[in-house]
Every structure is written in C-alpha cells, then in structure tokens.
Amino acid sequence: MEFRFCPVCSGALISLASGPDHGRMACRRGHFVHYANPAITAFAFVERDNRYLVLRRNQEPYRGRWELPGGFVEQGETPAQSVRREICEETGLRVVEASIMGAYASRYGDNGKWTVDVAFHCRASDDELTLSAESAEAAWVSIEHMPLLAFAGERSAFQDFRQKLAAP
C-alpha cells in the first residue's frame, strides 16, 4: 500500500532528504513516517500418515491455486499460535505438534504486499476436515504429489522440506 497523506493532519507526505529515515515518505510536520515493513504470515505442512494437507484457494489472490493452511499473524500472537488457529479455522483440525522449519520472504499476490512467512511442520491427530469458505477443496498428498503452491514462500519452504526429508 502507498501512503500519500498523513493519517493525523492529512498533509501530503514528502520524501525525507536526510536523517535515519532518509528516503522514506513522511509528514512534513513530523506526525508520521511510513515504514514499508512486511506483514507476518504462518503456514504449515500438516502431516497425517505420510500425506500432507493442501487447500485450493477460493479467493484472490491466486483463486483456484493450491496452498498450505495458514494465514496472517494477528497482533499479540506468536506464529505458532497463529498457525494452530488458522488450521483450526480453515479445516477444523487440531494439530498435536508443531515445529518451526524456517522463515521465507514472499508477496501476497503478484505485486502484493511483502510478507515474511514462518513455516511449520505439524501433525494432525485425525483427517476429518470441515472446510471454511476460504477453500474450494482439500487433498492429502504425498511429497511426490505436492502440487505447485501459490505463494513463493510456500514453494521455498517446500524445497527445504523435501531436502530435509531426503537427508539420511
């Protein structure tokens, strides 16, 4: 998102010419500096009997593409809390274990906002799903049959995950 006006005084933002925030857009009266920080997401490889859960997106961006369960981290949440909440909201599943795999940079859609995606490996205690409206369908797939995932962070995490599983 591009900020053009100060949210406090509605004055037009200017590009700061000096100082530690040099180059950032800011209010000339000092109310506001726009920091283009990424949003945090959390997603998971949810495992059940050597298969992994993928969801087909039912909304933009990337409607119709496959993704892993997950979503944006809310204020005050840890990524681990967030990924458990998102999995439950999207699928009804309770995950019994969650280990962090890594963190990746991505964008929410082509030219969308930048994100930092925290990837987890979880185990589900059962495989009965109650999908939310966010997903058109779900599938449990082996590593070999993992579809092309929608987001760059998911694809990077999948490469790492597959390498880790293949390591002796």
Distance CA 59, CA 131 (A): 14
Q: Is 137 a catalytic residue?
A: yes
8 binds Zn ion (CB under 5 A): yes
Any contact of residue 9 with Zn ion (CB under 5 A)?
Answer: yes
C-alpha–C-alpha distance, residues 118 and 79, integer Å: 7
Whether residue 126 contacts residue 92, with contact meaning beta carbons closer than 8 Å, is answered with no
Q: Which stretch binds Zn ion (CB under 5 A): 24-32, 86-94, 133-141, 158-166?
A: 24-32
Q: Which is nearer to Zn ion, 25 or 46 (CB)?
A: 25
Residue of 153, 108, 121, 132 whose CA lies nearest to 53: 121
Per-position x/- string for 29-68, each x denoting binding to Zn ion as judged by CB under 5 A, each - no binding: x-x-------------------------------------
Considering the complex, what minimum distance in angstroms separates the CB of residue 15 from Zn ion? Answer: 15
Catalytic (active-site) positions: 137
Residues that bind Zn ion (CB under 5 A): 6, 8-9, 11, 27, 29, 31
